[in-house]
Amino acid sequence: MGSVLTRGLETAGSGTLVSEAAVTEAVELASPVEWGVPGLEDARRLGEGFVVLGAIEVLVFGSVARGEAVDGSDIDLVAVFDDLGDYRCRPDLERRLVKRAGELLDFEVDVWVTDRPEWARRTTVVSSSLEAAIADEAVLVAVRGQCNDTDVDWGKEIGMPPDNRAEALSRLEDVRNALSRVEDRLDEGPREQRAASVGSARRHSEARYERMVDVCVHSQKAIESAMKTVVCLVGGSPERIHSLDRLAARIPSPYRDVTKSATDPANKTTLEEISLWHRAGPYSDERPDLTLAQIEVTAAELARIACDTAETLVRHFEAADDARTLIADIADTVGTVRVVLANPYN
């Protein structure tokens, strides 16, 4: 019957049941390389390993594909299967391929799993998609050799958004989710409450500071997602851009009002400084050097800008039935956040 891995790959529609011996041989033949600058040969090695596990073709994109990789760069790969069937298998397949990559090479590897129908539509019809953004630079590093068209349902509903409108709605959902996190983090958390209960001013301040960091991070995410929503609506490509300046430059005049609050010269925080919070959350050494009082002011301003931006954005969707639930959720969350901002932080 095979292992959970091989049975899972067969169920995913790879078209070929991979033998335990083939998997074992592929791993045993590959020994981890020394850490350094990843290149196309490394990507090919990974691609060949993924083909053994059922992928029809493997492409590399990003810095390795462009020949711009440096020490510590990730290897970004797309593993294309014939037909995944149930797209709910995608996260598990990605985890398994990343695990296999770690057994083959000593580099950080990111893997996007897709199938032929989804890849074809996303690269040709959805101009705002990641797939369309990377298609021109992607380099084919491995191919199985023979496609199995009889196992491919070309007319099926794909797992990712099938057009630019749907892609924009997925970004609008990101706006809603980010604002919800802003709302959650504006309230005092259990760490602060515990610190206060034991009279530890230091621990209370540290927990409060981290909460303000989270407000800044999620506010930046809401603003970025709002701008990306507009770029998707007009068929542009917002993928892999976190600079709000660059995103704002891609927004045409009918939607320029979405950028108004973030670009207001009266703001204490510039658009470039807001952009930095994309990395400042996970990487503490990239955070601005702010005191607790300063970051409280910054968090309040970014949360207010996020609310302004979201409110302006949803006006462009007001007559749309497909966005009704998202609009209602965003309006409710913005209202709650504004009430909190009108009063001192908890």
Class of 4-151 in CATH: alpha beta
Percent of the chain with pLDDT over 90: 82
Averaged pLDDT for residues 30-38: 63
pLDDT of residue 189: 87
Asked whether the predicted pLDDT for residue 218 surpasses 90, the reply is: yes
Residue 174's contacts (CB-CB under 8 Å, 6 or more residues apart) are 221, 222, 225, 228, 229
pLDDT of residue 344: 65
User: Looking at the chain, how many residues does it have?
Assistant: 346
Q: Where are the beta strands (DSSP E) in the chain?
A: 57-61, 75-81, 109-115, 139-143
For the segment 198-215, what is each residue's pLDDT rounded down to a tens digit? 999 999 999 999 999 999
**pLDDT tier at 147 (50, 70, 90 boundaries)?**
confident
pLDDT of residue 239: 77
**pLDDT tier at 285 (50, 70, 90 boundaries)?**
confident
For the segment 38-54, what is each residue's pLDDT rounded down to a tens digit? 999 999 999 999 999 99
Asked whether the predicted pLDDT for residue 286 surpasses 60, the reply is: yes
Residue 229's contacts (CB-CB under 8 Å, 6 or more residues apart) are 168, 171, 172, 174, 175, 313
pLDDT of residue 35: 59
Distances in Å between the Cα of 321 and the Cα atoms of 21, 317, 325, 327, 335 are: 53, 9, 8, 10, 22
pLDDT of residue 238: 87
Higher-pLDDT residue of 308, 1: 308
Asked whether the predicted pLDDT for residue 319 surpasses 90, the reply is: no
Residue 306's contacts (CB-CB under 8 Å, 6 or more residues apart) are 178, 179, 182, 218, 219, 220, 222, 223, 226, 337
Asked whether the predicted pLDDT for residue 182 surpasses 80, the reply is: yes
Asked whether the predicted pLDDT for residue 27 surpasses 90, the reply is: no
Q: Which candidate, 94, 133, 101, places its Cα nearest to that of 115? A: 94
pLDDT of residue 13: 43
pTM of the predicted protein model: 0.83
Averaged pLDDT for residues 284-289: 89
